[in-house]
Amino acid sequence: MTYAIIDDVITQIEWNFMCLHLWTFFANLSTEQNLSLQAKNIKLRFQDGKWFVLSGYKIKDSLENLYIQQEKDNFFSSFVEINAFKWILWAMLEWIEKDKKFKDWTLSMIKKENMDAFRYSLRFIRNILSHNIDPDIKLHEHDFKELQRKIFTIKSKSIKDGKLHLEIDYQKILPKSWIKNYWFEINIDFNTLKKWEYFFNLIPKATIYMLCEFCYNLIIYYKTV
């Protein structure tokens, strides 16, 4: 990878992690306050002199619905989460697989026994999220069948007999971390995957938040070494 592409990957992870925080805040705020009262047309001006207007009516209608529903798992928050998850994990996977220096550094940090599980967790989650925006995501065979066949050929400490186990302990991986007693794990049994299975029953949403946070913290630490 060139330095310009690496910068783009880092920016992709940082910005999406920031947007995950910012837009989730706004999604929650929209259920607590009736923001539709502040809705108005927004005129966008572009460098070529052209312009486009975002409809205040559309904005008002959407905000009213969010406030009336009073649900945090609304279409706005789900859309923001899924897209941020997808792009953070996609960027991390691309960087690991296409930049040997970063791959070797990551390997030295999370250790060989975790590396296969880390990479294939990223790949599996990215594949599922790439074709879904529904809050109740279900598995589709075309999203995991090819990866499933690959998993059965791998024999390592973290992937064996079609079962993947990833454990991330901050104190072991990032010794200077300000986060103590903080860890998460991902367990996927590729022998039992079925189409139409609910994705977040397989990997809880909280775990994906922590995985994205780990990717973010890993690149922040990488920038200091």
When pLDDT is cut at 50, 70 and 90, the band that residue 78 belongs to is confident
Q: Mean pLDDT over residues 202-221, rounded?
A: 94
Best CA proximity match to 142, nearest among 128, 121, 158: 128
When pLDDT is cut at 50, 70 and 90, the band that residue 75 belongs to is confident
Question: Alpha-carbon distance 57 to 71, whole Å?
Answer: 22
Which residue ranges make up each domain of the chain? 3-30+73-222, 33-72
- Percent of the chain at pLDDT > 70 equals 94
pLDDT at position 61, please? 93
When pLDDT is cut at 50, 70 and 90, the band that residue 111 belongs to is confident
| Residue that wins the pLDDT comparison between 110 and 3 | 110
Helices 75-98 and 3-32 pack at an angle, to 10 degrees, of 160
Question: Alpha-carbon distance 225 to 223, whole Å?
Answer: 6
When pLDDT is cut at 50, 70 and 90, the band that residue 73 belongs to is low
